[in-house]
Amino acid sequence: MKLKKFTQLVVCFFLMCPVTLAAEKQPKVLLINSDAAVEKYQVTQEEFKRAFSHPVLEINLNDRKWGINQVEEFLYDEYPDLVYCIGSKAYLVANKYISKKPIVFSSIINWQRLPVTQKTYGVSNELPAEMHMTIFRFIFPKIQKIGIVYSERYNSQWFNKTMEEARKMGVSIIGQTVSKNKDFLPALKQLLPNVDALWLISDPVIMSDKKILMEVFKKCDAHKVPVFTYQDVFTEYGAVLTVSVDDATIGRQAADITREILSAGMIEKQVQYPAGSHIILNLKKVKEYAFPYNQDALGIVNQIIE
């Protein structure tokens, strides 16, 4: 009888051990948000937590209680197994203090300009150029010449690849390079007489001055040259077509990357393109410019401004 009870206790012990060990091995994930008050950051954060479905530590850098000393102390004390960063400010903090741990990022414009390591993973904030071109041509099939102002430092390779993709679709890309944002307007002046539309791309050199950007939209509007761009906010300035990333999808995608890293230790493709997009068409401007468009293409547009 004593032997039987002892055997039962041993069996119970080993049955309980996996549960205990599993609980001890629960990975510690920290989410750092550059500013949770920004709607798109908040959407991404909530979708990440919903998709990840495990407890997540959180830091909102816009919260006054999180001074740099408090953040540094928290990171060293908790020392998470993985950090998910939303926005460049969050990424720079994580990279400075715990770069030896895997860092997943999203919602960063031109992530290539940031310091990265072999343990840096993420979702690019830019969609593939060929996807943009396909949408441009589907909605505006008669478009032939698209102008782009860019800096060679950040977008030289991207521009060359985009020219090749555009050529396959029967579109000519006409580019003007700038090294400083003050050169943007002179470059635009040369482009406008020779293009059907301006493609305003993500480039830290040309996007660093809001006043210059507003002037760009004014000049394009005066010449009735539609502006295609990548950020929803530019719709307020008069952009005709905006093809942006879908923030909710990015959050879910980041959660998938996080799970894969935690289970496998790494993933083959460190930085992925966004899996979803959001399209806004300013049909009011299109009609004002008398710009030909494909009515059958309106079905792919998420939001139409009339």
12 located within any domain:
no
- Whether residue 137 is found in the same domain as residue 199: yes
Provide the strand spans (E) within the chain. 29-33, 57-60, 82-86, 103-106, 120-123, 145-150, 172-177, 197-199, 227-229, 241-245, 271-272, 277-282, 303-305
Q: What is the pLDDT of residues 231-270, one digit of tens each?
A: 888 999 999 999 999 999 999 999 999 999 999 877 889 9
Question: How far is the C-alpha of 282 from the C-alpha of 36, rounded, in Å?
Answer: 29
Task: Give the residue with greater pLDDT, 119 vs 265.
Answer: 119
The answer, yes or no, to whether residue 9 has pLDDT greater than 90, is no
Apex 281 CA angle, 272 and 231, nearest 5: 40
- Whether residue 103 is found in the same domain as residue 144: no
- Whether residue 81 is found in the same domain as residue 40: yes
Q: Which two tokens stand for residue 247?
A: 């923030």
- Whether residue 107 is found in the same domain as residue 136: no
- Whether residue 85 is found in the same domain as residue 147: no
CATH number at residue 77: 3.40.50.2300
What is the residue range of 202's domain? 129-229+278-305
- Whether residue 265 is found in the same domain as residue 143: no
Instruction: Taking residues 29-48, report their average pLDDT.
Output: 96
- Whether residue 262 is found in the same domain as residue 287: no
- Tally of domains within the chain: 2
Q: Please count the CA atoms within 13 angstroms of the CA of 173 that sit on its side-chain side.
A: 27
- Whether residue 52 is found in the same domain as residue 107: yes
6 located within any domain:
no
237 located within any domain:
no
- Whether residue 195 is found in the same domain as residue 297: yes
- Whether residue 224 is found in the same domain as residue 168: yes
Which residue from 131, 125, 135 is spatially nearest to 301, judged by alpha carbons?
Answer: 135
DSSP assigned state of 118:
T
294 located within any domain:
yes
- Whether residue 97 is found in the same domain as residue 156: no
18 located within any domain:
no
Instruction: Taking residues 44-67, report their average pLDDT.
Output: 95
Backbone φ and ψ of 199, nearest 5°: -100, 105
120 located within any domain:
yes
- Whether residue 42 is found in the same domain as residue 167: no
298 located within any domain:
yes
Q: What is the pLDDT of residues 190-222, one digit of tens each?
A: 999 999 999 999 888 887 778 888 999 999 999
235 located within any domain:
no
Instruction: Taking residues 266-279, report their average pLDDT.
Output: 90
* Strand partners of residue 228: 199, 241
